[in-house]
Structure 1
C-alpha cells in the first residue's frame, strides 16, 4: 500500500511529522507492505536565499512580530521536536529557497533513496545550519547517502526534475492541500499536519485493512512434481 507525503524542507512540522509517522509505522504489524513516496511542496516559492539572517529574524519579518516573539514561537517548536528526539537549532538555520533541494530529492528518489534524502535535508537545515540551496552542500549530502557527487552537480546545473517538483505541487493543489506535512494513505485518507502517533497508527491500520480487502493475495493451485528445493535438496 502506498503512502504519499507532501513536505517542504524548511517546514519544522514536516520533520516532526516525519518522525511521528515513523514511530507509528514501527508499531504497524505489516510495515513491510507499505511503500512511501515523498512529494515536493514549497511554502514560499518566491523566497530569496539570504545567509545574513536566521530563521528567527525571517519569522519576525514575515509575520510582523518582534524578534523576541519569534524566538519564543521557535522555542516552542524546538521543545516539540525534542519530544521525538530531534535537536532543532533555529539560531543556526539559514533562510533558503528549497526548489533546488526538491530537485535534488527527486534525483535521490530515482535512485531509491527517497527517505534517506528527506532525513538528510531536514537534519542539515534544522540541526546543522546548512544552506540547503547551496549546490556544494547538496552534493556533499548526496555523497553521504550514496549518490555520485558529479551526478548531483550535473542535475543541479540545469533544470532537471524541475517539472517533477512543479507536478508534485500541482497535484497537491488539486487535492486541496493548503499546508504541510500532508499524508495520503492509499489515495483514500489524508492526514494534515504533524498529528500524534496514535492518529497515524489508526489511519494506517484502517487504510491497510481496506487495501487488503480490495487487493486479495491469492496463491496458485499447485500440481506437485519432481523439483529441487533451496539448500540442495532434490
Structure 2
C-alpha cells in the first residue's frame, strides 16, 4: 500500500503531522507493507527566491497582528509540537521560498534518502539554529542525509533541476483537491487533511488495507497550512 504525503518544509503542521503519522503507522499491523512517498507543495511559491523574513514578522504582517500576538500564535503551534516530543523554536526562525528545498528532496528521493533529508530539514527549520533557506545549510543537510555533496551543489546551482518534478507534484495536489497541507492520500482512495491524531491515521490505514469500496469515514477537522494563510492557527 502506498501513502503519499503532500507537505512543505515551512509548514509547522506538516512537521507535527509527520510525527503523528509515523506514530499511527507504527501502531498499524501491516506497517511493513506500506510505502511512504513525500510530495511537494509550496505554501508561498511567489515569495522571492533566497530572500527571508523572520517568521514572527511574517505572521504579524500576514494577519495584521502585533508582534506579541504573532508570538502567541507561534507558541500555540510550539505547544503542539512539543507535545509530540519535537523541538520548536518560536524566535529566530526564517520564512521564505521553499522551491530549492523541494528540488533537493526530489534528488534525495531518486537516491533513496528522501525521508532522511526531510527529517533533517524539518529539524533544522523548526528546532535548530540553521536556516534551510541558506544554500550552504541545504548542502550540509544533504550530505548529512547521505547525498553526494557535489551532486547536491549541482542541483542547487541549476534552477531547472527537478523543477518539473516539483511542479508535477503541485499540479497533482490541485487535481486531488488538496488546498492545505499536510495532505495524505492512501492508495489513491482515501484522503486525510491536516495534522490528525495518530489514532486517526491508524484507523485510516486499517480501512485502506481492508480494501473496502465504501467511502472512508471523514476525519475530523485538523489544523493545516494553506497558501492563502501563513498557517492556519487559531486567532488570538
Q: Say yes or no: TM over 0.5.
A: yes
Helix, strand or coil: the match of 1:180?
coil
Tell whether the 8 Å contact from 1:60 to 1:70 is kept in structure 2 after alignment. Answer: yes
Give per-residue Cα distances to partners, 1:86-120, cap 9 Å, x unaligned.
11103121122100000000000001112111111
Alignment partners' CA distance in 2, 1:74 and 1:50: 21
Matching of residues 6-85 of structure 1 within 5 Å: 6-48=6-48, 49-51=50-52, 53-85=53-85
Alignment partners' CA distance in 2, 1:39 and 1:92: 27
Alignment partners' CA distance in 2, 1:54 and 1:86: 21
Q: TM-score, normalised by structure 1?
A: 0.87
Give per-residue Cα distances to partners, 1:178-213, cap 9 Å, x unaligned.
1000000000000000001111010001001118xx
Helix, strand or coil: the match of 2:211?
helix
Which residue number in structure 2 is paired with residue 179 of structure 1?
A: 180
Tell whether the 8 Å contact from 2:54 to 2:95 is kept in structure 1 after alignment. Answer: yes
Which residue number in structure 2 is paired with residue 232 of structure 1?
A: none
Tell whether the 8 Å contact from 1:3 to 1:34 is kept in structure 2 after alignment. Answer: yes
Larger radius of gyration: 1
The alignment of Structure 1 onto Structure 2 pairs a total of residues equal to: 210
Matching of residues 147-166 of structure 1 within 5 Å: 147-158=147-158, 159-166=160-167
Alignment partners' CA distance in 2, 1:63 and 1:87: 25
Q: Which consecutive unaligned segments of at least 5 residues does structure 2 have?
A: 213-236
Runs of 4+ aligned structure 1 residues displaced above 2 Å come to 48-51
Q: TM-score, normalised by structure 2?
A: 0.86
Tell whether the 8 Å contact from 1:113 to 1:145 is kept in structure 2 after alignment. Answer: yes
Alignment partners' CA distance in 2, 1:113 and 1:207: 26
**Displacement, 1:147?**
0.5
Alignment partners' CA distance in 2, 1:204 and 1:113: 24
Give per-residue Cα distances to partners, 1:26-51, cap 9 Å, x unaligned.
11111110000000000110113444
Helix, strand or coil: the match of 1:81?
helix
What is the root-mean-square deviation of aligned Cα atoms in Å? 1.1
Which residue number in structure 2 is paired with residue 192 of structure 1?
A: 193
Helix, strand or coil: the match of 1:38?
strand
Helix, strand or coil: the match of 2:108?
helix
Tell whether the 8 Å contact from 1:56 to 1:70 is kept in structure 2 after alignment. Answer: yes
Which residue number in structure 2 is paired with residue 168 of structure 1?
A: 169
Alignment partners' CA distance in 2, 1:84 and 1:131: 22
Alignment partners' CA distance in 2, 1:187 and 1:172: 12
